[in-house]
Amino acid sequence: MSEALANLLNETRQFPPPAELAANANVTADAYDEAAADRLAFWERQAGRLAWAKQWEQVLDWSKPPFAKWFVGGQLNVAYNCLDRHVEAGRGDKVAIHWEGEPGDTRTITYAELHRLTCQAANALTALGVKAGDRVAIYLPMVPEAAVAMLACARIGATHSVVFGGFSADALTNRIQDATAKVVITADGGYRRGKPSALKPTVDEAVANCPSVEHVLVVRRTGEEVAWSAKDHWWHETVETASTEHAAQPFDAEHPLFILYTSGTTARPKGILHTTGGYLTQTSYTTHAVFDLKPETDVYWCTADIGWVTGHSYIVYGPLSNGATQVMYEGTPDTPHKGRFWEIVDKYQVTILYTAPTLIRTMMKWGEDIPAGFDLSSLRLLGSVGEPINPEAWIWYRQHVGGGRLPIVDTWWQTETGAVMISPLPGVTEAKPGSAMTPLPGVVADVVDDQGQSVPNGGGGYLVLREPWPSMLRTIWGDDNRFIETYWSRFGAGASGGGSGADWIYFAGDGAKKDDDGHIWLLGRVDDVMLVSGHNISTTEVESALVSHPSVAEAAVVGATDPTTGQAIVAFAIPRGSADTAGAAGEQLIADLRNHVAKTLGPIAKPRQIMLVPELPKTRSGKIMRRLLRDVAENRSLGDVTTLQDSSVMDLIASGMSGGKSDED
């Protein structure tokens, strides 16, 4: 694989940081030297940014790999670090959350108010019998109560399991059962695409199969009628009538903070367990470093959903532990119009925007005239998260959102890593469009071949982490063997079943390459690497080549079984609005695109087939479901489509496929 993944795509453009940002950056190039000189001392200094009730005795215990313990013997309370200490420092009147509901209703919540609500929720949960160590499932829309619920659990030492509000009753049932959750916190519904979207019926269906659930707390959001049982309690009648006095108790640094299940439609979901001290240390530090966050002046907006790890780390724990003012938005980017995001940036004078490449490519498809209609001059830094960003989307983001001048931090990390691991530092790095660049200070990442040896610059292979990091997952909930097998058994001591801590290597499941300067480029999941005529080709690079054509807004690529080449490349491309795709013009565009890929990446990467489609199948979090596209490409019946944002997309694609919008010369 290391040979075949070597640099198909070549990108030479570089963008230095703006001089003013570099002069005033929170973190300078010295941090790399500091961390390289003594990694554990570096992380110990970052832990010192937090308020600890009891100092730790040991920074890292790695005596029983791969089970790490960070800040051993230390005690702290996460909610105290996110709320109380800011209020005690006289910043209670500072806005914590500017909340924007999809219908246009708003709430402005200060740190003092967020603290008060969290204390009430902590008291209400305690009254319902929730104790430290119990699990609480949270299934909510993007409302402030979602952050309150998480902070209240952290405050009393209950372990929260947030489940994305788009998941089905079966998915919710599996997650409640696996964690044996005692309480579920939900809402009657939320607003999505201009109308109420019910949540309570899904919870009712799930709870019927979950005997561990004793109580259900229900936030009233839409006012729609809901079924009611003896287990159900209204949030406004329970939480909002509780005492506002609550003393936060410190918990051990290794106390379980949350379980977050990685999505998957097959087998038992994997409950990724994160603990307290190390997780908060790294999320807090990376928010400060990667976003150059200045809490006094910045208005920060991460557009993720609370149900994903990005919402945990970079909406709740990272920004609030830094005392940030942030925006939280309930709805979709095109309701009631395609400029809604830019309207929000304009309205709240957002300075830092952190969003997903899928959204940026969707905005490209809609056209640059939409962001151009709003005042985006308040922005000073842009970020991307969720998957590799292709160079053309990066350039579009910089040009049409960042006015051609703003730095972009393209971040790589995972549910499992807990916090950003690889990213440009905005005041230091000369960024390359599409590259996550280098590991952050204190993080030891590498690209290795099949034998676990580092590949030279210009080579490709597997992305690994060679040293433990504070925000790392501690295990898979209830399944230590699966934890070892899934993440530690590919390379090093984990593969041989022994060795000292220095020999354990974490494999992320992602392919990557080093360019000629040694900078890291992510190539997507190794599951998405196609084997074409003996060559491993990354779907990410072929998609990037397609999107670099001026007529393409977004693309998804899969490998389909082929009698000649083993696998053949099948591409699905969304044309930009200005592209002519009717009749002969469409056929010509397909031929042009195939040749464009061959010219950009080489003949081996030329797609067998390209289909022009109006949309791609995406989950509600914006992930492209390539599994369904493989089903279409291989003429199989479709798998589970329940997690799709719009399941009718697959009908459109399948009918187009049979209509022959392809080219197989």
Residue 148 is assigned to a ligand binding site: no
Q: What is the 3-state secondary structure (H, E, C) of 456-473?
A: CCCCEEEEEECCCCCCCC
CA distance 154 to 547: 43
Q: Which among 285, 279, 280, 293 has a CA at the least distance from the CA of 324? A: 293
Place of tokens 């149900």: 307
Residue 533 is assigned to a ligand binding site: yes
Give the three-state DSSP class for 356. coil
CB proximity list for 34: less than 8 A, separation 6 or greater: 42, 441
Q: What are the Cα distances from residue 65, in Å, to 327, 373, 499, 505, 531?
A: 40, 54, 9, 10, 34
Q: Residue 241 corresponds to which tokens in the numbers above? A: 């009538």
Q: How many CB atoms lie within 10 A of CB 63?
A: 11
Residue 552 is assigned to a ligand binding site: yes
Q: Which among 515, 541, 538 has a CA at the least distance from the CA of 458? A: 515
Given a contact cutoff of 8 angstroms between Cβ atoms, the answer to whether 435 and 453 are in contact is no
Residue 415 is assigned to a ligand binding site: yes
Q: How many CB atoms lie within 10 A of CB 394?
A: 26
Residue 412 is assigned to a ligand binding site: yes
Residue 549 is assigned to a ligand binding site: yes
Residue 194 is assigned to a ligand binding site: yes
Residue 510 is assigned to a ligand binding site: yes
Residue 550 is assigned to a ligand binding site: no
Q: Which among 618, 619, 614 has a CA at the least distance from the CA of 653? A: 614
Residue 414 is assigned to a ligand binding site: yes
Residue 195 is assigned to a ligand binding site: yes
CA distance 207 to 230: 12
The one-letter amino acid at 358? T
Give the three-state DSSP class for 71. strand
Residue 410 is assigned to a ligand binding site: yes
Residue 236 is assigned to a ligand binding site: no
Residue 399 is assigned to a ligand binding site: no
CA distance 134 to 153: 9
Buried b or exposed e, range 257-283, using 16+ CB within 10 angstroms? bbbbbbbeeeeebbbbbbbbbbbbbbb
Residue 192 is assigned to a ligand binding site: yes
Residue 627 is assigned to a ligand binding site: no
Residue 387 is assigned to a ligand binding site: yes
Q: Which among 257, 352, 374, 262 has a CA at the least distance from the CA of 313? A: 257
Residue 525 is assigned to a ligand binding site: yes
Place of tokens 């230390």: 74
Q: 66: cis peptide before it, omega within 30°?
A: yes
Q: Which among 109, 156, 485, 97 has a CA at the least distance from the CA of 302? A: 97
Q: What are the Cα distances from residue 560, in Å, to 111, 568, 607, 635?
A: 53, 5, 11, 10
**What residue numbers does the annotated binding site for ATP cover?**
386-388, 410-415, 510, 525
**What residue numbers does the annotated binding site for CoA cover?**
192-195, 310, 533
**What residue numbers does the annotated binding site cover?**
192-195, 310, 386-388, 410-415, 510, 525, 533, 547, 549, 552
**What residue numbers does the annotated binding site for Mg(2+) cover?**
547, 549, 552
